[in-house]
Amino acid sequence: MSNNLNNGESVELKKSTFLLTSPYLKKVRAFFEEVTSITRFVLRFFKEVFRPRYEFSEFIKQSYLVGYNSFPLIAITGFIMGLVLTIQSRPTLAEFGAESWLPAMVSVSIVREMGPVITALIFAGKVGSGIGAELASMKVTEQIDAMEVAGNNPFKYIVVTKILATTLMLPALVILADAISIYGSYIGVNIKGQISFHLFFLQVFQALSFSDLFPAIIKTFFFGFAVGLIGCYYGYKSDSGTEGVGKAANSAVVFASLSIFIIDMIAVQLTSLFM
Amino acid sequence: MSGSIVKIENLKKSFGSNKILNGINLHVEQGENLVVLGKSGSGKSVLIKCLIGLIEADDGNIALFGKSINSIKEHELNAIRKRVGFLFQSAALYDSMTVRENLEFPLRDLKPITPEEINSSVEEALKSVGLEDAVDKMPSALSGGMRKRIGLARTLMLKPQLILYDEPTTGLDPITSKEISKLILDVQKKYNTASIIITHDVECARLTSNRMVVVRDGILVAEGTFTELSESKDEWVRSFFK
């Protein structure tokens, strides 16, 4: 009996020793270290963003690069999104004899959810990965170190301007994408039916209200911030040679996309509480 | 030569269990070229990165221009950094900027400075390295030797009193290596700068050094002039010069 007890205790001890030294514990520890590191990165951003010197010209340049240069891709995907959503929704609505609701239904879907989320995901893929790879390359080729040893502030010049640019440009892109998407929907409606431009947009604006547009645009600022922050974070902390460049670009897209869905989930919950 | 502008005492640095620097003591005088010779991976680059605050040392004291940098604030460290030039092994040119923008970048925090003053500084720095024609080129259009020269021109923009060269001739052909070595000497004479030159290129060391130290396993094992070290009693030190 005593022997059995001792054996049992021994097994428990081995289990706990295994847990303490196991790879699982190392992963948990690595997770918390990563969270701490990201938190410090965010705090540094807020410290630097309000402190002079302000890098206006670099901010304008970055806004052009992430905003204007992303517009063609966002416009094409937005147009297709509106067109396809309309074509796919028509048969279901037709079953209930509610085809006339097509402009209203599609526009609300686009403005509330599809436009912001899909645009943000495309933005994360194009801009987030670019920022991650660019910063990681700068790190690997010692360009960031070169700024630092010259007494300049690379964090302010590179990171702050990029995060501000993504935060402010994504909402603008989403508004444009929404507009183009609704136009795509108008084309989609006219493929199998016929509705005038004036009547289509009259129905769209009758269906939309301020409470549809406002929360949807607010959350895109957070999407943009997340894309810029995550791209910069993984690029800036990269230090494992050329392999690190690929990893930084990949991590930037994966975690930015994930964070977009998480922010969206929180935003929808908050909106439903207050609206 | 008047007074130490760099003084390092008992500098130690480890990465995990790997001890890189095991108690380095070093000083550099005004206007002196000090060559740090050692095998690859012996901690030479870590030494100068600790010196400029890019890597935090575990122990020891580093004083630049008579001021300890161990516990100073960021803005004080940046002020000291503006008196120090650093030529990276890869030259580290900003590849999204032209040569002119690369050279102008270190001046951006200096105020007041007029566009005319910036232009004349750019022209002077490019003239010092013999590359006046490259002013509007992108770094991707430059050869390895030209990149090193532009990197050096960029360090000269702030008129540093101390220049740190990290493997200035690595990856260059013998002729270009010799040109870079001569350029290091020209800069020393023209601007009366002190330099720490990290290298394992003996020819570069011969051409540029006033004094040399040899690093082995994170400590200095020999010190002297090029001739003294090439005739050292230590066979390992002598083997560098064969």
Ordered by start, the domain boundaries in chain B are 31-53+72-239
Task: Say if residue A21 is in the same domain as residue A39.
Answer: yes
Residue B12: in which H helix or E strand, if any? strand B4-15
- The answer to whether B81 contacts chain A (CB < 8 Å) is yes
Task: Say if residue A257 is in the same domain as residue A168.
Answer: yes
pLDDT tier at B1, thresholds 50, 70, 90: very low
Q: Which residues of B touch A152 (CB under 8 A)?
A: 105-106, 108-109
Cβ neighbours, 10 Å, residue B241: 15
Task: Say if residue A139 is in the same domain as residue A106.
Answer: yes
- The answer to whether A52 contacts chain B (CB < 8 Å) is no
Identify the domain containing residue A105 by its residue range: 55-274
Q: Phi then psi for B33, rounded to 5 degrees?
A: -100, 110
Whether the CB-CB separation of B11 and B57 falls below 8 Å is answered with yes
pLDDT tier at B21, thresholds 50, 70, 90: very high
DSSP codes joined into one string, B30-51: TT-EEEEEE-TTSSHHHHHHHH
Task: Say if residue A21 is in the same domain as residue A60.
Answer: no
Task: Say if residue A35 is in the same domain as residue A81.
Answer: no
CATH of B31-53+72-239, one of 3.40.50.1100, 2.60.40.2470, 3.40.50.720, 3.40.50.300: 3.40.50.300
What's the total number of domains in chain A? 2
Q: Which residues of B touch A153 (CB under 8 A)?
A: 78
Rounded to the nearest angstrom, the minimum Cα separation between A58 and chain B is 12
Instruction: Using the predicted structure, report yes or no on whether residue B2 has a pLDDT greater than 80.
Output: no
pLDDT tier at A8, thresholds 50, 70, 90: low
CB pairs under 8 A between A and B: 51
Contact call for A145 and B92, based on CB within 8 A: yes
CA A161 to chain centre: 17
Task: Say if residue A166 is in the same domain as residue A187.
Answer: yes
Task: Say if residue A234 is in the same domain as residue A122.
Answer: yes
- The answer to whether B93 contacts chain A (CB < 8 Å) is yes
Q: Considering only alpha carbons, which residue of chain B is nearest residue A143?
A: B92
Residue A152 is nearest to which of B52, B90, B109, comparing CB atoms? B109
Task: Say if residue A28 is in the same domain as residue A78.
Answer: no
Task: Say if residue A26 is in the same domain as residue A86.
Answer: no
* Mean pLDDT across B217-234: 90
Distance CA A255, CA A233 (A): 11
Whether the CB-CB separation of B200 and B35 falls below 8 Å is answered with no
Task: Say if residue A205 is in the same domain as residue A232.
Answer: yes
* Mean pLDDT across B221-237: 90
Least confident of A15-29, A234-248, B130-144, B167-181: A15-29
Q: Which residues of A touch B109 (CB under 8 A)?
A: 53, 151-152
Last residue of a domain, one of A35, A51, A67: A51
- The answer to whether A142 contacts chain B (CB < 8 Å) is yes
Rounded to the nearest angstrom, the minimum Cα separation between B37 and chain A is 22
Task: Say if residue A67 is in the same domain as residue A198.
Answer: yes
Exposed e or buried b per residue across B193-228, where buried means at least 16 C-beta atoms within 10 angstroms of its C-beta: bbbbbbbbbbebbebbbbbbbbbbebebebebebee
pLDDT tier at A183, thresholds 50, 70, 90: very high
Distance CA A134, CA A107 (A): 37
Task: Say if residue A43 is in the same domain as residue A60.
Answer: no
Whether the CB-CB separation of A45 and A160 falls below 8 Å is answered with yes
